[in-house]
Amino acid sequence: MIVTLTPNPSHDRTVALTSALERGAVQRVASMTSQAGGKGVNISRAAVKAGLPTVAVLPADPDDPFVHDLLAAGIDCRPARTTGAVRVNVTISEPDGTTTKLNSPGPAATPDLLRALLETLRDHARTADWVVLAGSLPPAAPDEWYADLVAALRDTPARIAVDTSEGPLRALVDRLPAVAPHLMKPNGEELASFTGGDADELEADPAAAARAARALVERGVEAVLATLGARGAVLVTADGAWHAAPPPTTVVSTVGAGDSSLFGYLLGTHRGHPAPECLALAVAYGSAAAGLPGTTIPLPTQVRPDLVVTRELTSPSTA
Helix crossing, 257-270 with 275-290: angle to 10°? Answer: 150
Residue 195 has pLDDT above 90, yes or no: no
Higher pLDDT, 101 or 180: 180
- Quick one: angle between helices 39-50 and 257-270, nearest 10? 50
CA atoms within 13 A on the CB side of 184: 35
Q: Which is it for the CA torsion 301, 58, 236, 254, positive or negative?
A: positive
Average per-residue pLDDT for the chain: 94
Q: Exposed/middle/buried for 72, CB within 10 Å: 0-12, 13-18, 19+? A: exposed
pLDDT by residue (tens digit) across 200-253?
A: 999 999 999 999 999 999 999 999 999 999 999 999 999 999 999 999 888 887
Catalytic residue among 76, 96, 259, 306: 259
Burial class of residue 230 in the structure, from the number of CB atoms within 10 Å of its CB (0-12 exposed, 13-18 middle, 19+ buried): middle
Q: How far is residue 209's CA from residue 231's CA, in Å, rounded to a whole number? A: 11
Q: How far apart are the first and last CA of the chain?
A: 32
Using N-to-C axis directions, what is the helix angle for 166-174 and 145-153, rounded to 10°? 50
pLDDT of residue 317: 45
Q: E-strand spans in 6-59?
A: 10-17, 29-37, 54-59
Q: Which residues contact 123 (CB under 8 A, 6 or more apart)?
A: none
Percent of the chain with pLDDT over 70: 98
Task: Count how many domains the chain has.
Answer: 1
Residues in Cβ contact with 11 at an 8 Å cutoff, skipping those fewer than 6 apart: 34, 35, 36, 37, 66, 86, 87, 88, 89
- For the whole model, what pTM was predicted? 0.91
Q: Is 61 a known active-site residue?
A: no
Residue 315 has pLDDT above 60, yes or no: no
Can you give the residue range of the structural domain that contains 231?
2-318
- The answer on pLDDT for 316 being more than 90 is no
Q: Looking at residue 31, which CATH number applies to its domain?
A: 3.40.1190.20
DSSP-assigned states of every residue in 145-197? HHHHHHHHHTTSSSEEEEE--HHHHHHHHHTTTTT--SEE--BHHHHHHHH--
3-state secondary structure of 198: coil
pLDDT digits (tens, 9 = 90+) for 90-143: 989 899 878 898 999 999 999 999 999 999 999 999 999 999 999 999 999 999
Tell me the pLDDT tens digit for each residue of 275-303.
999 999 999 999 999 998 878 899 999 99
Q: Helix (H, G, I), strand (E, B), or coil: what is residue 107?
A: coil
